[in-house]
Structure 1
Amino acid sequence: MNKQDQLNIIKKGFINSQKVLLAIGDETRQSILLVLMGTDCETGLRVGEITKQTHLSRPAVSHHLKVLREAGVILMRKEGTKNFYYINVSTELGLLKTLMSNIDNFMQNNY
């Protein structure tokens, strides 16, 4: 694969990852992700639990969870009237891993 083909793949990777990059680029959303990653609970956390750990208001947490969900970074599981949020490691965040791998390969082969 030539240099231009590699760059085109990286460009597509940036385009495909844009929503994820914007979502995780916010410091508040990063703190929410850290809370979700730091929990021992495999079933996810409710908004109230995230609110306690981040010291953010409930509406703020809900807003940021919505942004993260729309970007595909987290998922929500309903249990009756309760919503549980957890990190979606298998899809959208995987785009970032692929993008970084492509950039790393490009840099190793061209510099």
Structure 2
Amino acid sequence: MNKNYQLKLIKEDFINCQKVLLAIGDETRQSILLVLMGTDCKNGLRVGEITQQTHLSRPAVSHHLRVLREAGIIIMRKEGTKNFYYIDVSTKISLLKNLINDIEKLIIETK
């Protein structure tokens, strides 16, 4: 594959990943993601449960969950008046795989 074409693909990958990279670059959001990944509950967690495990305030957790949702990293499921948050493999976090794979291809081919 042409090196310029590969660089164009990587540039597009970076553009597609900007919101994801900004969202996961924050240490507080990383701790929330770790809590969501570490739960045995397949249905997701509520804000109160995340608050207990991260020792953050409820408004702080809600704010960071909103950023993660807007970046397409987590999904919210409503059940009546309750909101459950979880990570799904079909979220935009999979865009990072494309970025890594394209960078890896370029590096391997230029060696």
Please give the range of the TM-score, normalised by the shorter of the 2 chains: over 0.9
Map of 1:71 onto structure 2: 71
**Counterparts of 1:103 and 1:5, CA distance in 2:** 12
Secondary structure in structure 2 of the residue aligned to 1:21: helix
Map of 2:108 onto structure 1: 108
Q: Between 89-98 and 66-75, report the one with greater CA deviation.
A: 89-98
Amino acid at match of 2:20: V
For the Cα contact (< 8 Å) 2:74–2:91, is it kept in 1? no
| TM-score, structure 2 normalization | 0.98
| Structure 2 stretches lacking a partner, 5+ long | none
Map of 2:82 onto structure 1: 82
Q: CA deviation at 1:89?
A: 1.7
Map of 1:15 onto structure 2: 15
For the Cα contact (< 8 Å) 2:20–2:93, is it kept in 1? yes
Secondary structure in structure 2 of the residue aligned to 1:43: coil
**Counterparts of 2:28 and 2:88, CA distance in 1:** 18
Amino acid at match of 1:64: H
Q: What is the aligned length? A: 111
Structure 1 runs (4+) deviating above 2 angstroms are none
Map of 1:40 onto structure 2: 40
Q: CA deviation at 1:90?
A: 1.1
| TM-score, structure 1 normalization | 0.98
| Structure 1 stretches lacking a partner, 5+ long | none
**Counterparts of 2:100 and 2:5, CA distance in 1:** 16
Q: CA deviation at 1:63?
A: 0.2
